[in-house]
Amino acid sequence: MADGRPRVVVTGMGVVAPLGIGLDEFWANAAEGKSGVGRMTLADPEGYPCQVAGECLDFDYTQYMDRKDGRRMARFSQIAVAASKMALEHAGIDLDALSEADRERFGVIMGNGGGGLQHDQEAVRTMDDRGGMKVDPFYVSKRLGNMAGGNVAIQFGLMGYNNTVTTACAAGTQAIGDAVEILRRGAADIMLAGGAEAGICELGLAGFSSMRALSTGYNDTPERASRPFDRDRDGFAPGEGAGMLILETLEHARARGAEPLAEIAGYGVGADAAYLVAPAENGAGAARAMRLAMADAGVNPEEIDAVSAHATSTDVGDRAETEALKSVFGDHAKKLHISAMKSQIGHLLGGAGGVEMVSVVQSLRTGIVTPTLNLDNPSDGCDLDYVPHTSREANPRIILKDSFGFGGQNAVLVVRRFEG
């Protein structure tokens, strides 16, 4: 870059998502406008108002790791390891050829919101039924939120910078942004970053149902439940999945003959400092993070072609995000192609940003912007171009990816088509 910082590029991706396991299946279904939301099976929804979820139904951890190792992991760690293995292979990284010095410069940053939530549920039931000494001896190591990143490092022998970002629904995006900063400051040569979440269980269902945050009116038509920006939305559809990216400096990528898939040009993060579970009025905090990310990338608002929206399908969130976009982009907001991936996969919480970033990179590579499903009647104030119903050949050059989390967390990335 002109400011002397190293450029950071994406050279590999892996994904486990309700739309498919692996990049090819995921992207084919995403571009075709399919929905991965269905009847909930990973938890018994009987008696709860929400009975739909975006689940990775075909996931089999034994395809990606030793069976014994996998049994000692929570599901969110299993899918993180699987997506990471895919990303490593996609990037053409031969782990056997890495020296110890290489491994010490190879880091991991994982985004996660809830850890192994279902293991809390199981442990308490075991204590009540059989006593505390019968609790799974791997309960703690399954439960802890940092164990996805820890398991990834252990499975692949990655000894560099390791961290877990737990900023709720912003975590996956923030993990990727933090990895960019690690590379820029020279603390690593290559990073594996993204997000993973797998918390579909009765405890999570109970908690979000009590908050009245989940969709309840589409149990008979699950594919219609996640409907960002639509007048008839009634909450988010819970989901699970992982998206992992290989990031490296352009110099490092060129030295090993890797093909850059996209460039992460800018990163902005900040806090609303307002409410626990609602965004600041008018999306002021989100707007600040967007401006920071564009300033970091050295681009003007008019240069942004598309937005991968956070878009959870809640009234207050969708309105605040739209207001933030109008505030930042002014008249140009009407020209943006705004895509809501959660309409296809549900809300993956800490894993959302990782999976959505895979989609962003694929949009830059293919020219296709994925749709916002179920946008039949845009609600008041939601009057931008949200790419309704079907994918669009938009050929974007620069995409802004935003994510927002409980606690007022805002994380935004600016991603550019790689151009030499």
Return the ∠ at Cα 226 (arms to 224 and 229), rounded to 5°.
110
Instruction: In the chain, count H helices and then E strands.
Output: 14, 15
124 vs 126: CA distance, rounded Å: 5
Cα 290 to Cα 283: distance, rounded to the nearest angstrom: 11
Strand partners, 94: none
Per-residue burial over 344-375, b = 16 or more CB atoms within 10 Å of its CB, e = otherwise: bbbbbbbbbbbbbbbbbbbbbeeebbbbbbbb
Tell me if 165 sits within 8 A of 409, measured CB to CB: no
Where are the extended beta strands (E) located within 182-314? 190-197, 241-249, 262-271, 306-308
265: CB partners within 8 A, 6+ apart = 7, 296, 297, 298, 299, 398, 414, 415, 416
Are the beta carbons of 350 and 112 closer than 8 angstroms? yes
* Spatial contact of 400 and 290, defined as CB atoms under 8 Å apart: yes
- CA dihedral in degrees (409, 295, 347, 374; nearest 10)? 130
How many CB atoms neighbour CB 334 within 10 A? 12
Distances (CA, A) of 393 to 35, 245, 336, 363, 366: 19, 24, 13, 9, 9
Half-sphere exposure of 65 (CA within 13 A, CB side): 25
Assigned token pair, 22 = 């692996």
- Burial of residue 55 (CB within 10 Å: 0-12, 13-18, 19+) is buried
Please give the positions annotated as active site.
169, 310, 347
